[in-house]
Amino acid sequence: MQHRCAVIGHPAAHSLSPALHMAAYETLGLSGWSYEAIDVEPGHLDEFLSGLDSSWVGLSVTMPFKSAIIAHGTPEPLVTALDAANTIIFGAVDGSRRTSRRESNRCYNTDVPGMTGALAHRGLTSADSAILVGAGATARSGLAALSRIGVRHAEVIARSLERAHASLDEVAARYGIDLDVVGWGELSAPGGLGTDRADLLLSIAPVDFTDAEAARIVRAAPVVFDVFYERHPSALSLAAAAAGRVSVDGIDLLVFQGIGQVQLMTGLTPDPEPLLAACAAELARRRDSQARRRDS
């Protein structure tokens, strides 16, 4: 019997999720399972879902559908709290087609346990304070994850204080986190963020910091977590390693949120190490390919 899964988003072709999930299927000894990246344009989510047949088990969901997908399944409490789901697992089928009944599907958020899992894998299981660089949707998942490891005070560095409060105040209050929001200029202040200002620095801003900026920023905490894998290894990750800080990166997050998805889709739990290696190898392969195209 065929079991189909995929990541959907716009764009989706860049996703490392197929490399991750296919590596998981291999390590788990699963045959008949497939996973692909599918680009779904905004406004076409309903049409895409209605065309799936009974071979489909579930989907990983990335931007811009993390909120829109909730209308197509019953959300777990974490999804409701954050208004964001990154996984849908399909339920009932009608003949050979998926039903459109919301109650037959389930929506989950594995980003939050993925963050705590990535931190634990690098040795951090508890903290009192944190700095968040950026204040978008990922920061809301970040606050939920921070609350799970005991953080009660978080300082947010944001380009717009107004938008940061609108995005994060309700979530911070829900999880009992005292929130301070400061301007982006804090990063370039003469003393920077200082040294060991918090237990953890979590960067959720898609910014390419210069080497000098990164070197100043990583002094602020003994553990530095840059959630984006597209620029792996990022300037922050490299600076953290050079400074003797613990570096947690976007591949760590990708793998641990992916492990949660594999569990939901297959009922089995893969070991993280082969998945970390597979994602790093695929990223290196893509960069080598791009370099050859530039040189040709």
Q: What is the pLDDT of residues 67-88, one digit of tens each?
A: 999 999 999 999 999 999 999 9
174 located within any domain: yes
Domain hosting 163: range is 112-252
Three-class SS of 13-54: CCCCHHHHHHHHHHHHCCCCEEEEEEECCCCCHHHHHHCCEC
Shared domain for 101 and 224, answered yes or no, is no
Per-residue confidence (pLDDT) for residue 100, from 0 to 100:
57
Indicate the angle between helix axes 111-121 and 137-148, nearest 10 degrees.
60
Give the pLDDT confidence of 125-177 residue by residue, as tens digits. Answer: 999 999 999 998 889 999 999 999 999 999 999 999 999 999 999 999 999 99
The rounded distance, in Å, linking the Cα atoms of 209 and 226 is 11
β-pairing, 223-226 vs 106-108, is: unpaired
236 located within any domain: yes
The rounded distance, in Å, linking the Cα atoms of 129 and 219 is 15
93 located within any domain: yes
For 26, 51, 96, 105, 277, the CA distances from 33, given in Å and listed in that order, are 9, 19, 18, 20, 20
Shared domain for 122 and 171, answered yes or no, is yes
Q: How confident is the model at residue 98 (pLDDT cuts 50, 70, 90)?
A: low
Shared domain for 191 and 228, answered yes or no, is yes
How many domains does the chain fold into?
2
142 located within any domain: yes
Per-residue confidence (pLDDT) for residue 232, from 0 to 100:
81
Shared domain for 154 and 239, answered yes or no, is yes
19 located within any domain: yes
Per-residue confidence (pLDDT) for residue 231, from 0 to 100:
78
- Give the phi and the psi of residue 39 in degrees, each rounded to 5: -80, 120
- Give the phi and the psi of residue 79 in degrees, each rounded to 5: -65, -45
**CATH code assigned at 68:** 3.40.50.10860
Could you tell me the pTM of the whole model?
Answer: 0.92
Shared domain for 96 and 216, answered yes or no, is no
270 located within any domain: no
The lowest-confidence range among 16-25, 34-43, 208-217, 257-266 is 208-217
Which secondary-structure segment (H or E) carries 223? strand 223-226
191 located within any domain: yes
The answer to whether the CB of 58 falls within 8 A of the CB of 36 is: no
Give the pLDDT confidence of 226-258 residue by residue, as tens digits. Answer: 998 877 889 999 999 999 999 999 999 999 999
**CATH code assigned at 210:** 3.40.50.720
Shared domain for 61 and 165, answered yes or no, is no
Shared domain for 65 and 28, answered yes or no, is yes
- Give the phi and the psi of residue 295 in degrees, each rounded to 5: -85, -15
